[in-house]
Amino acid sequence: MTDARIIHIRDRYDYQRAQSEVMRAPLGHVVTIRPPTRSTEQNAALHRLLQAIVKARHKWAGRTWSIDDWRTLMVSAHSKATKRPGEIVPGIEGEFVALRRSTTRMSVAELSSLIEYVTAWCAQNGIDTDGPHAPA
């Protein structure tokens, strides 16, 4: 058994399959059990919200930003609002770098919270989230 295995536990069969995989694993292998990370649907919903901000040409700090930039801004703001702020550290070349949680590593609950935060921010800032780019 050299390849990594991921088993999503949804029913008794999945429990049995996981147990069987663990019993066949060579000594020294590692078993990790964690909550599921974000879903494809959640990722699409967040992307549509960020696209709505970009399409509205909303300015922050005097200019418009890309979807990736808005994602960074929203993750940072949400982290601070939920009392899990990242850090700003000196970079390798003397620049400053904001270290924050990646959305790809967020749990379903964390990304749901971020989507709620961005949705509320859009409402407070007059961003239309009901158009063709709106979250499903």
Tens digits of residue pLDDT in 3-54: 777 888 888 998 899 899 999 989 999 988 877 777 888 989 999 999 999 9
What tokens does 110 get? 């964390």
Question: What does residue 73 show for φ and ψ, rounded to 5 degrees?
Answer: -60, -45
Residues 48, 50, 54, 56, CA torsion sign: positive
pLDDT, tens digit (0-9, with 9 covering 90-100), for 49-100: 999 999 999 999 999 999 999 999 999 999 999 998 788 999 999 999 988 8
Per the listing, tokens 């599921």 go with 36
Confidence of residue 131 (pLDDT cuts 50, 70, 90): low
36: left (phi over 0), alpha (psi -120 to 50) or beta: beta
Q: What is the pTM of this model?
A: 0.70
Q: List the chain domain ranges.
A: 1-33, 40-124
What tokens does 34 get? 């964690």
What tokens does 104 get? 């790809």
Residue range 40-124 forms a domain whose CATH class is mainly alpha
How far apart, in Å, are the Cα atoms of 99 and each of 16, 76, 86, 91, 108?
Answer: 40, 9, 5, 10, 21
- Strand, helix or coil for residue 38: coil
